[in-house]
Structure 1
């Protein structure tokens, strides 16, 4: 019986199933449905999202991300680190850096001396709104700050925002608490998933909003429920994300 070969990954607790389209045939017309089946925690493998790694004519590979509900997202800061480590260890063992094509453009990723992965996230776009700062770091986030992070009704408000007329296509929702200029804590409600243990684009959005409101320094650590992410927003506008990428296990799915 043939099956689908996969590896299971996480970045700061944000977990993914990775499928390699270099070495096996995948039906591109059914990836959304496949993501829903694979990511279902009781009935599938279980994950926040499905990463599909494909050949690219302009980069080392192309990354596609499907959320647990089957919707496709243009970019994922945690997922791209997992893809980078996978490519560097399974396909490109003679280098420590690579370019990855995403729905938000080409992103460069390199392995740091301490074994983490550094992602060039591009230049953020942002605007203030009555609901909070709207920040696009490859994925669109609404950012708010609170002094009661643990008690914040993230699931209720995150779900309500998906029906808000200002966000006809939905929006990710990041809520943070600033501990000091170089450290913040955050929770994220991700569109198509719900609350996750970490979100790379959300950590970046939080730091951007924190700098704009003069609460955070341009280099700061974001403590999320699943782990730590480091964000750097350079004076020239470039945004960087640094964090881990962990392979949990590999297997074959016969579902």
Structure 2
């Protein structure tokens, strides 16, 4: 298997093509490749396959072998990968994901890809969409989780996300582990701890479902902007600082727009045994 390792704001992935559908157990492959001691090491794998409805299909598997419908940092890396490898020659491309078709716009500077802009689609606060055991929207609601109180706002931003405002450094990102698996969330949730700097700038630390603490989570940054805008803290155009880098998020009528970096780390080949 030939691969390229990439990162988007520190969220890292092993990316490869499988146009002949020869890799049947992607869960096993992800767990082996993503292991940081006994494998290459990454937060997940991104697999390119042919699509009947878009320019190409992206399959995302987390480091623990679980499937993810969407990944914001991953899709930026994926768009750069398929363009540079010649699999897609369009500078604006349609990518099939588990959360539908996403539009990726490559951003060039002096002939090189400097970033990627993605239309991440529209969010939903409907509990049925992210399968929560609750009879109303979870917006600024207080819950006791593991003996500690949290004020949660939850939504679907391609995948389930929960946002917690943490302006007093009262929480550690590792607390996301117990919220992720709380009985409130049937399929789990990503957890974002958000600090408001001003009405156009926030900081976000994410506990990612299936991966743990990550240096950045694209869907999490989008969800954090949507949630904090809903709560009246920020405007519709927001700079988001994650531990691994900076993203720019804009809420528009056509969807949530995410712009950020995508970087190659290394290339190589490996055996799947």
Q: TM-score range by the shorter chain?
A: over 0.9
Per the alignment, residue 119 of structure 1 pairs with 118
Per the alignment, residue 164 of structure 1 pairs with 182
Superposition RMSD in Å: 1.5
Tell whether the 8 Å contact from 1:162 to 1:168 is kept in structure 2 after alignment.
no
Residues 1:73 and 1:216: Cα distance change in structure 2 (over 3 Å): same
Corresponding residue SS for 2:269: strand
Q: How many residues align?
A: 247
Q: TM-score, normalised by structure 2?
A: 0.87
Per the alignment, residue 148 of structure 1 pairs with 168
What are the superposed Cα offsets for residues 142-200 of structure 1, whole Å, 9 maximum, x if unpaired?
00111134x62221x21112331211211100011010111101100001000000000
In 1: Cα distance, 2:106 partner to 2:176 partner: 33
Displacement of 1:239 in angstroms is 0.6
Equivalent residues in 2 for 1:75-86 (5 A)? 75-86=70-81
Displacement of 1:118 in angstroms is 0.4
In 1: Cα distance, 2:102 partner to 2:63 partner: 23
Per the alignment, residue 211 of structure 2 pairs with 193
Corresponding residue SS for 2:182: coil
Equivalent residues in 2 for 1:196-215 (5 A)? 196-215=214-233
Tell whether the 8 Å contact from 1:53 to 1:62 is kept in structure 2 after alignment.
yes
Aligned match for 2:92, one of 90, 97, 105:
97
In 1: Cα distance, 2:208 partner to 2:168 partner: 20
Alignment pair present for 1:19 and 2:16: yes
Gaps of 5+ in 1: none
Per the alignment, residue 266 of structure 2 pairs with 249
Give 4+ residue runs of structure 1 displaced > 6 Å after superposition.
Answer: none
Alignment pair present for 1:32 and 2:50: no
Corresponding residue SS for 1:167: coil
Per the alignment, residue 220 of structure 1 pairs with 238
Aligned match for 2:67, one of 55, 72, 91:
72
Q: TM-score, normalised by structure 1?
A: 0.92
Deviates more, 1:52-61 or 1:105-114: 105-114
Displacement of 1:94 in angstroms is 4.3
Tell whether the 8 Å contact from 1:171 to 1:191 is kept in structure 2 after alignment.
yes
In 1: Cα distance, 2:196 partner to 2:101 partner: 31
In 1: Cα distance, 2:264 partner to 2:119 partner: 22
Corresponding residue SS for 2:120: strand
Gaps of 5+ in 2: 126-136, 143-150
Displacement of 1:25 in angstroms is 5.4
What are the superposed Cα offsets for residues 95-119 of structure 1, whole Å, 9 maximum, x if unpaired?
3110000000000000124521000
In 1: Cα distance, 2:43 partner to 2:89 partner: 31
Corresponding residue SS for 1:169: coil
Displacement of 1:93 in angstroms is 6.5
